[in-house]
Amino acid sequence: MSKKGSKVAIIGAGFVGASAAYAMAIQQLCNELVLIDVNREKAIGEAEDISHALAFLGQMEIRAGDWPDVRDCDVIVITAGANRKPGETRLDLAKKNVAIAKDITANIMAHYNTGVLLVVANPVDILTYKIARWSGLPKGRVLGTGTVLDSLRFRYLLSRHFDVDVKNIHGYIIGEHGDSQIPAWSATHIAGLSIEEYCHTSGIAFTDAERAAILANTKTAGASIIKNKGATYYAIGITIVTLVETLLKDQNTIRTVGSVIDGPHGIHDVVLSLPSVVSRHGVEKVLELNLTETEIEGLKASAAAVKSVLDEVRDL
């Protein structure tokens, strides 16, 4: 059970923030949930809409709030940010959302007294790095959703390919939450067997072309959903709730969250996603997988891609 008096604030009551709040209410994950948005009426509406179902769910306080309400929060979730518009580059979006995130961080820290900051807004690796620096919080106290959702998509696609329950598949997408992300094939298993061992045991083939297709579909899954319905919010909402549960319940769960990396695989001073032990304090430990040389090269290229954007927004 989550601890008595647990409190969560969600900054941003758009599709993602509202979906996370809705899922959090269904799971009765915390005692108090506060929605904070620049459009206060939107936050009030979302809080009321979810609250009206509490008779079927249980006891929980869900309300709209303001910056002073981040005090005493166990987790502060940052989903607020601009969406990428047609014709905008990734760097354009980064500059826009870095400015928004800087203002949000200042407002949070003016009232902050405890809790973990969970960054969701994109580009999540850039914003996680900047917020970690601006906040001045201890190492690991600021983390991003990183490639947690990418890893879920990866596992889902593998389960469809091999016709195996997704719960029996373990695999990670690591690096950037973006185009340079890579699959850690050497750490991917089905029922404890490596992909190669599983294929050999089952008498099936898994070609390089099939691997490439699964990676491509993992990378483009979000864009495909946006093309079809305009935005993605259900899966990331559930991802947020799962991470908040890990934090509130001090589960020491291993997730591919993003945090400031300083040492693993010779990579320093950049936010990347690697399997990490997550407790109520945030990231306790970043695990250094036994990757192949090719995977390490891919991870370092991913770090360089993130750093190139960081360099462009360094002074913002």
Q: Which residues are catalytic?
A: 177
Residue 134: Cβ-neighbour burial (10 angstroms; 0-12, 13-18, 19+): middle
Q: How many CB atoms lie within 10 A of CB 98?
A: 22
Give the Cα separation of 72 and 191 in Å (integer): 41
Give the Cα separation of 81 and 97 in Å (integer): 6
Of the CA atoms within 13 Å of residue 110, those in its CB half-sphere come to 10
DSSP H helices in 28-163: 40-51, 54-57, 90-109, 124-135, 148-162
Give the Cα separation of 39 and 35 in Å (integer): 11
Q: Is the peptide bond before 123 cis (omega within 30 degrees of 0)?
A: yes
Give the Cα separation of 15 and 232 in Å (integer): 8
Report how far apart, in Å, the C-alpha atoms of 79 and of each of 20, 35, 202 are: 10, 11, 43
Give the Cα separation of 238 and 255 in Å (integer): 14
- Under a CB-based contact definition with an 8 Å cutoff, are residues 269 and 303 in contact? no
